[in-house]
Amino acid sequence: MPLLELRNITAGYDRNIILRGFNLEVEKGEFVSLLGSSGCGKTTTLRLIAGFSEPNEGSIIFGGRDITHVPLHRRNFGFVFQSYALFPHMTVFDNVAFGLKMRKVPKAEMRKRVMDMLALVDLEGFEDRYPREMSGGQRQRVALARAMVIQPDLMLFDEPLSNLDAKLRVRMRVEIRRIQQELGFTAIYVTHDQEECFAISDKVAIMNQGVIEQMDTPANIFNGPKTEFIARFVGFENFFDLKAEGGAWLTDSGAPIRLTQRTEGSAVKACIRPEDVLIGPPDAGFENSVPGEVLVSTFLGRHVQYNVRTAIGEFAVKAEQDHVYSIGAQVSLGLIANKIIPIPQTNC
Amino acid sequence: MKKRGMGRYIFLALIAPGVLFITVFMLIPLFWVILSTFQEGGSFSLNNYISLLDSVYFRQVFGRSVRLSLLSTGLCALLGFPAAYYISRYSRHKGMMMALAIFPMFTSPVIRSFSWMVILGRKGIVNQALVGLGLFARPQSLLYNEFSMTVGFVQLFLPQMILSLLGVMDAIPTDLTEAAGSLGATRLVAFLRIVFPLSVSGLVTGAVLVFTGCMTAYTTPQLLGATDTQVLSTMVYQYAMSLRDWAQASAVAMVMIVVTLAVSTLFNRLSRRINPLAA
Ligand SMILES: Nc1ncnc2c1ncn2[C@@H]1O[C@H](COP(=O)(O)OP(=O)(O)O)[C@@H](O)[C@H]1O
Ligand SMILES: [Mg+2]
């Protein structure tokens, strides 16, 4: 049985429906990321789980209990805000101790737990500072400590690192993952940063237009996107149609393409990443060869990207620098068979 | 460098009219008033103050002034806090609600006092309701006493309190109360521990405005009070206009200024104790 379950949720603001028939399951101890472009409803989802707002329809089940209408202060979930939301008139110590005071934890125990937590987030000696006397990274660690010290049943993160600079972001996400594995809490982590969420999560749920399009391990999503949207999201740029004929897959122009993945149906949309397409002279003799003409060549440092026009659509190709083709050159593309991902047409 | 110098002159030119106006029409006369209260027959004397402090009547008026002003300030805070919080947090029609809250400020205090006379009079709706409900056999005297003066003060200055509180409450992110809630605080506790301390600077501003307003208001105590409920401002008028005793009037005015400053300072001290970061 999953620890948290969102069943058929409909939610939004006023007459503006954001989530429609939304479902999500999270197992105990899992680190799940909600990934999606800005405005797709990630924060809305997280706020529902936290209890900041209630869904119009559907139910939220936690540990087998319906908590849809349980008020937020009785849920025991930790929430880390993008804006940190530290109490500006309280010291770091009082900020972290706030949840324990609410739980009427005895003074001595409270002090010990706050200090332990500050040590865990590497903020020993900062307990008497006020939030405004600290840097962004330190504030976020205070926010983290404040949410975790209550030993929440579930930790909710809403883009906690997006206000930090790139270097600090990488360090903090490693930190969050380390603490999560140390304490073993269940976490839902919202982000729009693909790299961040793939690095940190056990499972990634990719959201699009108010529903989860695919939820799986980072590796499975990276290597086997189930929809064209997901495929584009994880870096597939080349899409082409294939149809089954006499036991083989043919492109629209009738060329045979060998796939290594077993594929059902009579027609699929196939996709491949730019770095998995070979480029060579017309007589290169690649497997799954597609002839074409170079339209654009872009220098990318270690690589060169070519945009190549072919009979089955335009292809982006990322090649090593020593492959030099001028604009208008006739080339041959080789689609590496085990890198071609078929997407069943029903999911497009 | 040159540009800076220019900016300086423009700055001086811009503040000069205001400074000049205040100096000529406020600071110099005030200085004169202060000076005149310490004189009698051309030489230095504290007699104006000694005779005031000696007078039982003055001490009564003084006490009433401070008491009613503090009471009205407290009531304005009590009534203004929930109103301001509601408007800043929950109101969808914020502009509308704010307009309603400050609408009384568009009416003259004289008119507002007259409406209270109608409402609180022997045949007013309050008395009619009290008698009609059988709570009292005969109409009560609700006018021309400290009660009606307090009611008048509160209605007069509540908008100032609400506006001051709204100013600071609007700046408190909703994140903070949500964070408190997720940490286990009920709405009430979140309000008391987060919203209240962060609103204290607005409360102090409002309290100073209301208190000074009550201390210096003239029409409201004059119209809603009686001769046996005089306050300092009506006393100044009486000394100056009826008794033509300008020295005594000035001395009373000085007492008003000192009390107002003292209480404002006190409010500020208190606020710093609740929230060391405020102001
Ligand atoms: N308080 C609000 N009132 C009205 N609409 C809102 C509010 N908050 C968010 N929205 C809308 O809901 C949609 C989803 O928002 P959100 O869940 O914050 O997206 P995300 O966190 O994925 O960027 C957006 O289109 C946004 O404009
Ligand atoms: Mg968001």
One domain, residues B13 and B101: no
Q: B47 in a domain, yes or no? A: no
What are A315's strand-pairing partners? Answer: A308
Q: Give residues whose Cβ lies within 5 Å of ion ligand 2.
A: A 43
Distance in angstroms (rounded) separating the CA atoms of residues A274 and A64: 45
Q: B212 in a domain, yes or no? A: yes
pLDDT interval class at B277 (50, 70, 90): low
Question: Considering only CA atoms, which of B259, B214, B191 is closest in space to residue B74?
Answer: B214
Put simply, the answer to whether A98 touches B189 (Cβ < 8 Å) is no
Alpha-carbon dihedral of residues A84, A95, A97, A30, nearest 10 degrees? 0
Q: B46 in a domain, yes or no? A: no
Tell the CATH topology of A4-228. Answer: Rossmann fold (3.40.50)
Percent of chain B with pLDDT over 70: 97
User: CB-based contacts of A34: which residues, under 8 Å, 6+ apart?
Assistant: A42, A45, A46, A188, A189, A190, A191, A205, A207, A212
Q: What is the pLDDT of residues A139-195, one digit of tens each?
A: 999 999 999 999 999 999 999 999 888 888 999 999 999 999 999 999 999 999 888
Question: Considering only CA atoms, which of B68, B99, B255, B72 is closest in space to residue B163?
Answer: B99
Give residue limits of the domains in chain A.
4-228, 229-347
A128 contact B CB<8A: no
**Enclosing domain of residue B103:** 52-274
One domain, residues B135 and B240: yes
**Joined tokens for residue A323:** 């492959």
Q: What local confidence, expressed as pLDDT, does residue B3 receive?
A: 57
Q: B175 in a domain, yes or no? A: yes
Q: Taking residues A321-328, report their average pLDDT.
A: 83
Q: B150 in a domain, yes or no? A: yes
Distance in angstroms (rounded) separating the CA atoms of residues A80 and A158: 6
Q: Taking residues B205-210, report their average pLDDT.
A: 95
Q: What local confidence, expressed as pLDDT, does residue A347 receive?
A: 46
Minimal Cα–Cα distance from B133 to chain A, Å? 41
Average pLDDT of every residue of chain B: 91
One domain, residues B117 and B29: no
Domain count across chain B: 2
Q: What local confidence, expressed as pLDDT, does residue A97 receive?
A: 98
Alpha-carbon dihedral of residues B200, B204, B210, B214, nearest 10 degrees? 130
**Residue A345 confidence (pLDDT) above 80:** no
Put simply, the answer to whether A81 touches B183 (Cβ < 8 Å) is no
Q: What is the pLDDT of residues B96-138, one digit of tens each?
A: 988 888 888 888 989 999 999 999 998 899 999 999 999 888 8
What are A66's strand-pairing partners? Answer: A61
Return the H-helix or E-strand segment holding B84: helix B56-89
CATH, residue B133: 1.10.3720.10
Of the ligands numbered here, which is closest to the C-alpha atom of A162?
2
| A-chain residue closest to B196, CA distance | A89
| Phi, psi angle pair for A149, to nearest 5° | -65, -25
One domain, residues B110 and B10: no
Task: Write the DSSP symbol of residue B59.
Answer: H
A200 alpha carbon – ligand 2 mean position (Å) = 18
Which B-chain residues 183-242 have CB contacts (< 8 A) with chain A? Answer: 183-186, 189, 193-194, 197-198
CB pairs under 8 A between A and B: 68
Nearest residue (by CA) to ligand 1, atom 10, is A13
Contacts B198 to A, Cβ<8 Å: 88-89
Put simply, the answer to whether A79 touches B180 (Cβ < 8 Å) is no
Distance in angstroms (rounded) separating the CA atoms of residues A247 and A265: 11
Q: What local confidence, expressed as pLDDT, does residue A348 receive?
A: 43
Whole-number Cα distances in Å, A68 to A3, A10, A34, A71: 14, 12, 20, 9
Say what the ipTM of the complex is: 0.85
In the three-class reduction of DSSP (H, G, I as helix; E, B as strand; rest coil), residue A24 is classed as strand
Q: Taking residues B8-34, report their average pLDDT.
A: 92
Q: Name the class of domain A229-347.
A: mainly beta
| Residues at CB less than 6 angstroms from ligand 1 | A 13, 16, 18, 36, 38-44
Whole-number Cα distances in Å, A341 to A217, A237, A240, A269: 17, 12, 11, 8
